Structure 1
Amino acid sequence: MLFNLVYDLVLMVLAIATLPQLLYQMLFHKKYRTSLLQRLGVKFPQIKKNGHKLIWVHAVSVGETKAVSTLVKKIKKAQGNALILVSTVTETGFAEAKRSIPEADYHVFLPFDFNWIIKPIVNQVQPDEVILCETDFWFNFLKNCKNRGAKISLVNGKLSKRSLQRYLSFPSFTKRVFSLFDLFCLQSKHYQDRFLQLGIPKEKLQITGNLKFDADMTRMQEIELHNWKKKLGINTKDLVLVVGSTHDPEEKIVLDAVKGLWEHIPDVSVVIVPRHPERFNEVANILERKRIGYRRYSQPQTGNGQEKVILLDAMGLLKQCYQLADLALVAGSFTSKVGGHNIIEPSWYGVPVLFGPHMHSQPELLELVEKYQSGIQVDNNNLADVLKRLFSDPNERKKIGDAGLQMVDGLTGATKQTYKILFQL
């Protein structure tokens, strides 16, 4: 009882501390306007089970939603009568869930973890199973689901070194949270070792692989690629650099390097895809301050059609962009605050990959890329030189891209294995 009161008190203190930032984002970036009411427990849909099993799948944001999408599709196909509710935290994650998991019966925002908000929601939903993807462990949510008799599982489980240290610093909280889980389906032994350090029984820890490797990577036809390139306003003769999932200050780093590239190889178009939509205008301002000609995907083509930068100010199109690329740079890796994104994704299309020095959030992906030599790790100092070298050498680009195709050829199967263990087949 005392623990529950302390937990809610800590949440309240954190909520008050972050309130100014929340209001700022709502007023100036229009963030959280769609999700706030539902996260407060208001306008949460009325769930009608009608005697059917209900599976609650939670994925915090875009990456986790993409990862769990293939598993949800398999569950729905195999258990057609089961109801599936998919929850996310971010608005971009919610949009991705609607796009990539249309099979779900309900798409919702996960309510805030105050007991007085989440308990009535869980009691109304009455989940039979709860499946969390990767991370995002909320004590009151999990406790109330367990009290309702739900089986709780983690899929595509991972645990960063930083998170491990934090959990070890609060052993009482850690024990209470992770004891609520019945099963952990983990990406690799690397993560299994970390969960073992938290005192979780080994029999609960299963290595099932990375669900992201089973994501739908349907390739566009040649005519589709041609039309997509035309829609973006890219000259058919240009080479294309796609810079995916950028965060502040990565656009500045890349653009400084690209300016040097253009001095030697002017016929290179650059597609910049920010990770978060609230930064679209910010990135546009960066381009204007640097006096770089650009066009926004969302706006009609203007000017003389000679803009060399396309700002992809829309969500859900990164895979299509990677298929256009002669070279991809996966961002989130030039800032220690993020620690890298999915550097495997361009390899599905035979596209050579560059990424920055900060990959601590994706150690298993870094290990794979290094093993197959399907990408090159760069830093702020040598990025311009590596860009010049690769855009001058199609043979090296092809060699790296082919290595990527070889790598991804043997990576699938996590969805099948995870489903088998989840439902004890």
Structure 2
Amino acid sequence: MRPFSFIYYILSVVLYILALPLLISLSFKQKYKESIPSRFFLFNNPRFKNSNGIWFHVCSLGESRALKPILDSIDKENVKITTITQTGQNEAKKYGVDLRYLPYEMFLPFWIKPQKMVVVLEAEFWYMLFAVVAARGGKVVLLNARISDKSVKKYMKMGWFYRRLLANVDKIFCQSEIDAFRFETLGAKDIEIVGNIKLAQKIESTKEYEKPDITTIVAASTHDGEEKVVLEGYKEYIKNNAAKLIVVPRHPERFEAVYKILVEFCNQNSLHVNRFSEDKSLSTEIVLVDMMGELNNIYKISDIAVLGGAFKEDVGGHNPLEPAHFGCKIITGKHFHDQKELFKYVHHVQYIENDELCNALEEAQNLPPSSVDEQIDLDRVIKYIES
């Protein structure tokens, strides 16, 4: 092991020891009860069965879904996938391949078997992962690679570290010209711009629900604090307009907390709320979708999508392609930095401050549905992976 890698490894061990009490505590939370024991204690997370395969590593749900067009085009016989989150793991199970959680870096030198290639999506930059795969003769490929506007200063300040990390990378397929420039600045080689592979996803609904006969607004993938922003805008809007509100929180562990917020709001404003899991008739003014996998089905019957994750600074926005595909008129906040590349391809989107939602809902009546201008060159990626 090289001196830098040895020092990095020792620091990872020290950090692990210091974090043990927190890791044990988080293991009991519903959100992490599977991922943390697997990643940090190797519980039910053995090494891959075979060597010399193609290994895809993704973080969460969106990246797991983005793999589908690629996996549909290659031989999956010796494909493996690792994820970080439980939602990503659940999505990746659909592919029927050898599936694991990515262990914490301290375990990787003992856990990784030699592979032909590891394909890492977006910004999952793990030094030990890259170093160990490269040391054992495998190629390291970055796919859908990006360095966001919010993160670029951090990357440049830590340029000495990222130059070492990127020295182990054989190929980078990045999202945009600005991403390519940033990787070049950090010393990366062999970079190609292919666009965002999420544009290649097949977007479809899985169930049919009857569309309400009034304007239907979906608050999609909301985070803590964003439901209140939506409810305030909705409250003002329905003073002069008839509309139904469907709320779809991003994380299932928040269903109960969001339901309490909606009940309190309805009690104060003489409205009614139902849980979608109990009543799918959409008969009340407000509906909480407390089930996973329903968002596309809800987009399909909605007129306006208030896309969450961008009304607070620490999330970075969510994928606008799905509501645009179903013809929703999209409204989102101004903190969409992690999805800026995708929003470039979506037309007729309103970007608003938190107190502007009512006006945006009014304006949506005069706007055409959002639409997507698809631009992606996936063939080059597939040819490289198969070579």
Q: TM-score, normalised by structure 1?
A: 0.82
* CA-CA distance at 1:306 after TM superposition: 4.6
Give the structure 1 partner of residue 248 of structure 2.
273
- Which SS does the other structure have where 1:7 is aligned? helix
Q: 1:189 to 1:368 in 2, by over 3 A?
A: same
Matched, 1:206 2:192: yes
- List aligned pairs for 1:48-59, cutoff 5 A: 48-49=49-50, 53-59=52-58
Q: Measure, in 2, the Cα distance between the counterparts of 1:414 and 1:367.
A: 16
Give the structure 2 partner of residue 83 of structure 1.
78
Q: 1:316 to 1:170 in 2, by over 3 A?
A: same
Give the structure 2 partner of residue 417 of structure 1.
380
* Aligned amino acid, residue 49 of structure 2: K
Q: 1:265 to 1:162 in 2, by over 3 A?
A: closer
Q: Measure, in 1, the Cα distance between the counterparts of 2:203 and 2:187.
A: 37
Q: 1:313 to 1:12 in 2, by over 3 A?
A: farther
Q: Measure, in 2, the Cα distance between the counterparts of 1:316 and 1:157.
A: 26
2:128 pairs with one of 140, 159, 165: 140
Q: 1:25 to 1:66 in 2, by over 3 A?
A: same
Matched, 1:35 2:35: yes
Q: Measure, in 1, the Cα distance between the counterparts of 2:20 and 2:362.
A: 46
Q: Measure, in 2, the Cα distance between the counterparts of 1:134 and 1:305.
A: 37
* CA-CA distance at 1:20 after TM superposition: 5.7
Q: Is the 8 A contact 1:246 1:274 kept in 2?
A: yes
1:297 pairs with one of 267, 276, 282: 276
2:351 pairs with one of 357, 377, 393: 377
- Which SS does the other structure have where 1:136 is aligned? coil
Q: 1:25 to 1:297 in 2, by over 3 A?
A: farther
* CA-CA distance at 1:290 after TM superposition: 2.4
Give the structure 1 partner of residue 100 of structure 2.
108
Can you list the C-alpha shifts for 1:112-133, whole angstroms capped at 9, x where unaligned? 111xx2222203xx32110001
Q: 1:269 to 1:85 in 2, by over 3 A?
A: same
Q: Measure, in 2, the Cα distance between the counterparts of 1:294 and 1:127.
A: 52
Can you list the C-alpha shifts for 1:61-102, whole angstroms capped at 9, x where unaligned? 112112222212222xxx25x411111101111112124xx2
Query: Which stretch has the larger CA shift, 346-355 or 16-25?
Result: 16-25
- Which SS does the other structure have where 1:361 is aligned? helix
- Which SS does the other structure have where 1:329 is aligned? strand
Give the structure 1 partner of residue 291 of structure 2.
314
Give the structure 1 partner of residue 65 of structure 2.
66
* CA-CA distance at 1:257 after TM superposition: 0.8
Can you list the C-alpha shifts for 1:334-385, whole angstroms capped at 9, x where unaligned? 111012111232111222211111122222233333xx4x211122222112
Q: Measure, in 2, the Cα distance between the counterparts of 1:14 and 1:281.
A: 34
* Aligned amino acid, residue 60 of structure 1: C
* Aligned amino acid, residue 253 of structure 1: V
2:235 pairs with one of 241, 253, 259: 259
Give the structure 1 partner of residue 5 of structure 2.
4
- Which SS does the other structure have where 1:384 is aligned? helix
Q: 1:48 to 1:6 in 2, by over 3 A?
A: closer
* Aligned amino acid, residue 231 of structure 2: L
Matched, 1:44 2:28: no
Q: Is the 8 A contact 2:233 2:357 kept in 1?
A: yes
More helix by share: 1
Give the structure 2 partner of residue 243 of structure 1.
219
Q: Is the 8 A contact 1:264 1:388 kept in 2?
A: no
Please list every run of 5 or more consecutive structure 2 residues that lacks an aligned counterpart in the other structure: none
Give the structure 2 partner of residue 179 of structure 1.
167
* CA-CA distance at 1:161 after TM superposition: 2.9
Q: Is the 8 A contact 2:219 2:245 kept in 1?
A: yes
Q: Is the 8 A contact 2:112 2:133 kept in 1?
A: yes
- Which SS does the other structure have where 2:248 is aligned? strand
Give the structure 2 partner of residue 342 of structure 1.
319
Q: TM-score, normalised by structure 2?
A: 0.90
* CA-CA distance at 1:25 after TM superposition: 4.2
Q: 1:305 to 1:141 in 2, by over 3 A?
A: closer
* Aligned amino acid, residue 92 of structure 2: A
Q: Measure, in 2, the Cα distance between the counterparts of 1:305 and 1:199.
A: 54
Query: Which stretch has the larger CA shift, 252-261 or 309-318?
Result: 309-318
Q: Measure, in 2, the Cα distance between the counterparts of 1:213 and 1:139.
A: 28
Query: Which stretch has the larger CA shift, 127-136 or 3-12?
Result: 3-12
